[in-house]
Amino acid sequence: MDRRTSLLERIRPYSFSALLLAIACLAAATLLRLGFGWLGVSLPFGTFYPAVLIASLLAGAPAGIGVMVGAILIAWWAFIPPYYEFTSLNPTLIANFTLFVFSSGCIVALATFHRDVFQRLRERDRERDLLLREMEHRGRNTYAVVEAIVRNTLVNDRASADAIAGRVHAVSSANDLVNQSNTKTVQLKALLALEFGPNAEARLRTAGPDIEVSPDAARNLGLVFHELVINAMKHGALSAPNGRVVVQWRAEGGTVHLGWKEENGPPVAQPQRKGFGTVIVTQSLKSLGGDIVFAFDTAGLRCDLTFAYR
């Protein structure tokens, strides 16, 4: 697709490139016709139809019409006996020429229509990409403004400001991954690695099939993984030098079953009350038709998550 788009944009009608392409198509078709002639094939215009199509499609109607006219002259001179002279036209030759002109005209018209539609779609794609980039830019600015408002409002409560700003940043980062994807979906593993940052290779172990999650699922899961990572940094495995998190998942239909297991961290115990981070995790998964079950083992926190990813 990219190569064809490049050719359509590079070769303009009435340009020198279009002329060279038309000559190349005529030369290739003539050589092929000579080869088939040695094999006993007597169709004078057989190899010129694709030449007309290629020239029209890649260089526009003028090139296609030029190849058509050139094909008539070459076939009349070289492939209709007596060879290498312009013989007088009889009713049969006139009928053959008329059929070729009519067929080639249809090819030129359809190829030109296809070329025009393709170029209009390409232009719309450019406009859409420009609009998406503008929306991404404004979205980042909006998240930055929200973060600034939070920090300025909670200037005397640095811990709360950092917590809220971190959540805003988690949603913003997940949204950036969505916008950067051509399919507007995000790899589940990429979402996990995003929250672990530069220490992902040392601190995170993953196992599971490649799963592309929808934009809505990506934003909610980004927030879920952010809360789990923050909790692990404060109270769990990521607070210890050698601590790590093992995440495994499998998919059944449109549902993912994901296990989160922390290792080599300090002993953990079930908290006396449910924190706001737990509420966020539960509500985010609930919005995806899922749930989470916590197991506070002394060896480390374990979580079993389920969610719809499509």
Identify the residue whose tokens are 């030098």. 241
Of 275, 284, 164, nearest to 219 by C-alpha is: 284
| Model confidence band, residue 287 (pLDDT cutoffs 50, 70, 90) | very high
In this predicted structure, the answer to whether residue 102 has a pLDDT above a threshold of 90 is yes
Class of domain 185-308: alpha beta
For tokens 């249809």, the residue is 106
Domain locations in the chain as residue ranges: 2-125, 185-308
Q: What is the pLDDT of residues 230-253, one digit of tens each?
A: 999 888 899 888 899 999 999 998
The sheet carrying 244-252 orders its strands as 204-207, 244-252, 255-263, 300-308, 291-297
This prediction has a pTM of 0.62
Dihedral sign for Cα atoms in the order 233, 236, 242, 247: negative
- For 199, other C-beta atoms within 10 Å of its C-beta total 11
User: Whole-angstrom Cα distance, residue 287 to residue 280?
Assistant: 11
- pLDDT, tens only, 32-90: 888 887 877 677 888 899 999 999 988 889 999 999 999 999 988 888 888 888 888 88
Q: Six-digit token pair at 85?
A: 């002279």
